[in-house]
Chain A
């Protein structure tokens, strides 16, 4: 079916579209009132000028997020409310969070961590994670978050590539995911545990709380420059180890601008971003952007639990909610327009704006938001390399359900075809091609750490190639079609087949392995692996279970394959490259496409 564009009422754009809700307090006008007019006159220098900055042209993300508020009446406003899994609540004002960040910044100096060196976190959503992130940025050191559902191998690969100097984690994560190989990473000078117990603590670890107690709670700021490295976010590759995308302090220009334009965040808003800071969304929008704006950030330690989530939206009076398609699809099972189920028991009238990111939100999800929550979801698009939202549906503009929207003011996007070092822009609407961006936005990644060649390959003929296939309609709305490569998108997270295959190849029975994404209604895709065995091994349930166990132990649930099957041989090109695309097409019964490079087929 064709989905109808959701028009925003012109006479009163702030009125709720359904009558099911009580009247609400006056709402602020959209931060981006007129897309076309703003886009026509926009310059990045205006966005830069909106920040405080440091003397002599310096810029520091943590200063913008915290210290810049301290001489305003926002200083004692709620900056972060942490909701513990067991019902505990901890509040931090801007002043308190700034003081904690100062302590952490001093600690890094005392530990002898040099500016630019990397501080990793391997934590759930606990207050220490936010202190680590902001304190590291304040100190001019580089913050690199790891997702806590990674197994030991993804953790190790990222810490090796990032040359980790400090790790902040829990005793349990340390024992399970780091201690077994720590001796092989001599550069890791300090492991700080948030729950270190003096009697039983592992050797070579320090207590974060004890060390922080000793540090001053003011100062600690390093006057970073706009192009100093601030964040290192890992992303997976199709052929090779994960890549560390380098982001600089100037990225905060885009964090602030997109928080306003794409998320409609205003000072004083109660903002809930459900993404985990182990991924780029959870850092850019789950820590930095809302604080720069002067909003109050809600952090929930627990995983998705519909009753709990509705309770949070109601009780915390959330006004702007940024979540992901996997979560929305789970919630969609619980209510429809006519059968509102538990949604009928909650007052969600404080919600003003809903946004979604991670993978394309099905049009059903956009409309479900309108029908059940009283507001449509606004899908947007970006990726680790872009550092911030690039293409979005806006509060003041019509939504086309299923579309990622239109490029931010200041962002030039195009659909291109690229052949042998040249890029041709496809201007005719509704033609498929690769989504490309014109370099120059301030949060653009500035490199893959120590991999200049892989970085260079992302840029062709003056365009950054995103690896996503899309098309653009006559109104300038972009529509996602799929990946241009073999990357797998599961629960909104990009998983590199190479990392999965490498772990499987470590098993003595495996001769060849291929990882592909297969559709799954909730997660979007799940990882399936196909293996060929070495001579002398026979496929049976025990071996299948052993391989599944092996992969989970090394990779963790976020990356490990959920299904493993066997083939006698995997299809390969003449150069010996496994043709994942062909395997996937066969799995899904799709056309096989161009198989002219096929050398040896599967059996």
Chain B
């Protein structure tokens, strides 16, 4: 899987968690919590959706790395 494919999946799953993001333009480096109003429960739900979709284990200690779509794609690429 390419980084772009992973990023697309991450975005799809993010919209699954925060339905209001459908149709929004989310720059790859945008801080998701701040600029797109995600809270800790959203991140938890996103992690579990990514795990289900990609089979990647994301330990709790790594959640803070999922700050933007770019950072998340990089992180997932490392773990896949």
Contact = CB atoms under 8 A, between A and B. Distances in A.
Same complex for A and B? Answer yes
Given A172-B35, A552-B18, A557 B61 contact: no
B40 A303 contact: yes
Contacts of A545: 19, 22
Contact of B41 (A306, A523, A548): A523
Interface string B33-51: 1110111111011000000
Contacts of A172: 34-35
A556 interface: yes
A334 B40 contact: no
B22 to A, nearest CB: 6
Given A149-B37, A491-B40, A557-B38, A307 B61 contact: yes
B64 interface: yes
B40 A306 contact: no
Contacts of B20: 548-550, 552-553
A325 to B, nearest CB: 13
Interface in A522-560: 522-523, 526, 545-546, 548-550, 552-553, 556-558
A557 B41 contact: yes
Interface string B42-67: 10110000000000000011011000
A548 B40 contact: no
A340 interface: no
Contacts of B45: 562
Contacts, number: 55
Contact of A557 (B18, B22, B60, B63): B18
A336 to B, nearest CB: 14
A556 B19 contact: no
B22 A306 contact: no
A306 B62 CA distance: 9
A333 interface: yes
Contacts of A342: 61
A456 to B, nearest CB: 36
B44 A306 contact: no
Interface residues of A, number: 31
A306 B37 contact: no
B46 to A, nearest CB: 12
A330 interface: yes
Interface in B1-48: 18-20, 22, 33-35, 37-42, 44-45
Nearest to B31: A85
Most buried by A among B18, B37, B63: B37
Interface in A490-520: 491
B61 A306 contact: yes
Interface in A307-361: 307-308, 326, 330, 333-334, 342
A125 to B, nearest CB: 12
Nearest to A545: B19
Contacts of B63: 305
A111 interface: no
Nearest to A544: B19
Task: Give chain B's interface secondary structure class.
Answer: helix
A556 B37 contact: yes
B19 to A, nearest CB: 4
A169 to B, nearest CB: 13
Nearest to A333: B60
Given A305-B64, A549-B19, A557-B18, A151 B41 contact: no
A304 interface: yes
A339 to B, nearest CB: 14
Given A151-B37, A545-B19, A557 B42 contact: yes
A538 B37 CA distance: 30
Contact of A149 (B35, B39, B60, B61): B39
Nearest to B22: A549
A548 B71 CA distance: 26
B45 to A, nearest CB: 7
Contacts of A306: 60-61
Nearest to A522: B44
A554 B38 CA distance: 14
Contacts of B34: 124, 172
Contact of B39 (A549, A553, A557): A557
Contacts of B42: 557
A330 B19 contact: no
Interface in A249-304: 302-304
A491 B42 CA distance: 12
Contacts of A326: 40
A522 B41 contact: yes
Contacts of B64: 302, 305, 307-308
B61 A334 contact: yes
A356 to B, nearest CB: 17
Contacts of A553: 20
Nearest to A151: B37
A149 B41 CA distance: 12
A546 B37 CA distance: 18
Nearest to B59: A334
B35 A526 contact: no
Contacts of B60: 306, 330, 333-334
Interface in A126-185: 149, 151, 172
Contacts of A557: 18, 37-39, 41-42
Nearest to A326: B40
B19 A552 contact: yes
Contacts of A308: 64
Closest 10 CB pairs of A and B: A548-B19, A549-B19, A552-B20, A305-B64, A557-B39, A549-B20, A553-B20, A545-B19, A149-B39, A523-B41
Given A549-B22, A557-B39, 13 more contacts: A149-B37, A149-B39, A303-B39, A307-B61, A334-B60, A342-B61, A491-B41, A545-B22, A548-B19, A549-B20, A557-B37, A557-B41, A562-B45
12 contacts: A149-B37, A172-B34, A302-B64, A303-B33, A303-B39, A306-B61, A307-B64, A308-B64, A326-B40, A522-B44, A552-B20, A562-B45
